[in-house]
Amino acid sequence: MEIQSSAQAAGGPERIYLDGLAAGRFQIQRCEDCSQAVFYPRCVCPHCGGLALRWFSPSGEGVVYATTTVYRKPEQGGDYNVCLVDLPEGVRMMSRVAELAPAQVRIGMRVSARIVADGHAAQVVFVPSGRTA
């Protein structure tokens, strides 16, 4: 599904991305000049310098590339993980894996994207998909 070009939108590509998440759509960009997927949202392709970036919905599947634990006191919300997830479209994004204790998140774990809103802006988190890489 394609929406407007990043350069045409008021507020730029980050606003389009966040508005999409708020509407329940996880989208990343693809450069029409070099066909490379792009994430984090941008106005210019980091691969070729092209300006023709279009939005599309990725598969939502991924593999944990790296993970770490952020330690916090229980009264501050407790520990959580931060991870880098490789998507098959060719981008890597920072997120977290939900539904598991931080120590249970493993490099190579297959995960699936979910959009959650926790009182702030909607964001993409991942949950285990039940298969290993």
Tens-place pLDDT, residues 38-96:
999 999 999 999 999 999 999 999 999 999 999 999 999 899 999 999 999 999 999 99
In order of start, what are the domains of the chain with their CATH numbers?
6-56 (no CATH), 61-132 (2.40.50)
Express as a percent the part of the chain with pLDDT over 90.
84
- C-alpha 119/C-alpha 96 separation (Å) is 17
- C-alpha 45/C-alpha 30 separation (Å) is 8
The whole-model pTM stands at: 0.86
DSSP 8-state secondary structure symbol assigned to residue 32:
T
